[in-house]
Structure 1
């Protein structure tokens, strides 16, 4: 009997070592939009996010408490407003980020600080969602990084919300030709952007040619020639709209078919993340109130 117990004890001990070894060997591995594979010994507990859509996605995945710093534009949900700010996506504060001792830094691929942070030994996951499919992919990647198994279930709920907003509009909305200006300088939402894709889902026609790219800079004369039925624009950019060459005669301006979004609404609309269903509802409300005859 003693030899049997010894054998069992030996087997239990070996199994225990194997289990511990497997846990130690386990790691989190994700590949970012640069094609760079990031490997961590465990899911990150200290995160700096330098892109509002990524900040919101982390929180939507239920890991908001892991954020230790954000960029100056991350303002949703409310709890992130009290976190230390580490500059912007384009101009990150490298010293502030290093001082926060993050396990990983989430930032856009276009940020100038990616290589600098990596040269200092920090782990960087560079992601830049530009389309709805990108936003879905990023949700899945961050779910993998943060060990949230139901990340795509969250995305399905977002997608269902967009579909519901589209179904709320009458069939005649499909005849509307819309111009959406996203920022100062005449940068518009092209058909290939996530905003343009939302417009397509809602059934309206984007006057911006898809060949011009996701967010092209549009000459005012281009809009005059297209003469849209409805203009969507943020309150930060609306000043002097009628003074643009030829714009006073646009049917949208003459008929007061212009939606001016508040700063809060604009934040929702220009971030490809978990509030895209809310963005669709904001746009649908605009179409119903200003676009319908």
Structure 2
């Protein structure tokens, strides 16, 4: 559980559709000519003015969200290794490389010409610079707009600028339509997003919280985030008293949680979400990443809100 909280914090703040849309994203067009290079890219909060003289042909991804974006923009054939947390798509060359404890020697053994990472942990950028390996830092997205921007930047940096722009546009358009088409409840709904069964959660200031805010949902953990970390831990008493209308479980894989296990927790039987079928099981991976499958998460939230509004 500690690992999950650390993963979430690094991946989202300090924290991909198994249907047709995802397949369309992965099966992107062939790469453009090398004449598009050199290019210079910058990412808000990450790499600034990174100049790539030629299209990278041996890319390593050290975070799952970037792995998904790389494949979604059509750069999958250029990826030679991904970190141990990258589980999608299935064809990604998963290794024992770690994005949390980067091993410079192990990274260099893959002979990359570009490494994509979300954090400059253990002086990763400077260490790889000494080995003449460039690093594109794409930090954890804080908003949906951050995720769209990163899709564009990754596309440009890998020689797939048009595909990156198209992916960002598609994500934005799909999400806006899903939110717009969602049935509106008669009153504002409250929610709890569970990171693990020790009741760590996310506040509205996180990337995940930003998604829920698009639907006008009120987060019951915001007042408990005294430190401002974005990842408060609440008590069972606080949850029962707050009586959320919806409970989203992002710990179905790691911790085996479900509507049944939640309903069996002492005192939780009286919570509206439990009584009214408002406990929603999420895919842990999709619920912790800011890549193209965030559209799946938005669609799941939409379904939950619409179902609650119909009652």
TM-score range, shorter chain: 0.7 to 0.9
| TM-aligned CA deviation for residue 253 of structure 1 | 2.8
Shift of 1:28: 2.4
Superposition TM-score, scaled by structure 2 size: 0.74
Decide whether the 8 Å contact of 2:148 with 2:172 is kept in 1. Answer: no
Contact between 2:86 and 2:94, CA under 8 Å: does it hold in 1?
no
Any residues of structure 2 matched to 1:102-181 within 5 Å, and which?
A: 102-109=112-119, 111-112=121-122, 114=124, 115-128=126-139, 129-150=141-162, 151-172=164-185, 175-181=188-194
TM-score of the superposed pair, with normalisation by structure 1: 0.78
1 CA distance for matches of 2:243 and 2:105?
Answer: 49
Larger RCO (CA under 8 A, 6+ residues apart): 2
Does residue 278 of structure 1 match 2:296?
A: yes
Structure 2 gaps, min length 5: 1-33
Asked if 2 retains the 8 angstrom alpha-carbon contact of 1:31 and 1:38, the reply is: yes
More moved, 42-51 vs 222-231: 222-231
Q: Which residue matches 2:232?
A: 217
1:205-284 alignment runs, 5 A limit: 205-209=218-222, 212=225, 213=228, 215-220=230-235, 221-234=237-250, 235=252, 236-237=254-255, 238=257, 241=262, 247-261=268-282, 265-284=283-302
Task: Return closer, same or farther for 1:209/1:93 CA change in 2, 3 Å cut-off.
Answer: same
**Comparing 49-58 with 109-118, which one deviates more in the overlay?**
109-118
Could you say which residue in structure 1 is the equivalent of 2:15? Answer: none
Residue aligning to 1:88? 98
Aligned mates of 2:78, 2:186 — CA distance in 1: 43
The structure having more radius of gyration, on CA atoms, is 1
Contact 1:86 1:96 in 2 (8 A): no
| Aligned partner of residue 216 in structure 1, secondary structure | coil
State the alpha-carbon separation in 2 of the partners of residues 124 and 96 from structure 1. 15
Tell me: CA distance 1:84–1:75, structure 2 relative to 1, closer, same or farther (3 Å).
Answer: closer
For residues 168-191 of structure 1, the C-alpha deviation after alignment (integer angstroms, 9 at most, x for no partner) is 422217522111123454332321
CA distance in structure 2 between the aligned counterparts of 1:245 and 1:255, rounded to whole angstroms:
17
Which moved further from structure 2: 178-187 or 101-110?
178-187
Displacement of 1:250 after TM fit?
Answer: 2.7
**1:241–1:156 CA distance, 2 compared to 1 (3 A):** same
Greater share of residues in helix: 1
Distance 2:310 2:188 in 1: 10
The CA deviation at 1:225 is 3.5
Asked if the contact 2:182–2:302 (Cα under 8 Å) also holds between the matched residues in 1, the reply is yes
* Structure 1, gaps ≥5 residues long: 1-22
> Which position in structure 2 is the counterpart of 1:13?
none
SS of aligned partner of 1:57: helix
Deviations 1:69-93 (A, max 9, x none): 001121222221xx14142321234
Secondary structure at the residue paired with 1:79? Answer: coil
For the residue of structure 1 that corresponds to 2:95, the secondary structure is: coil
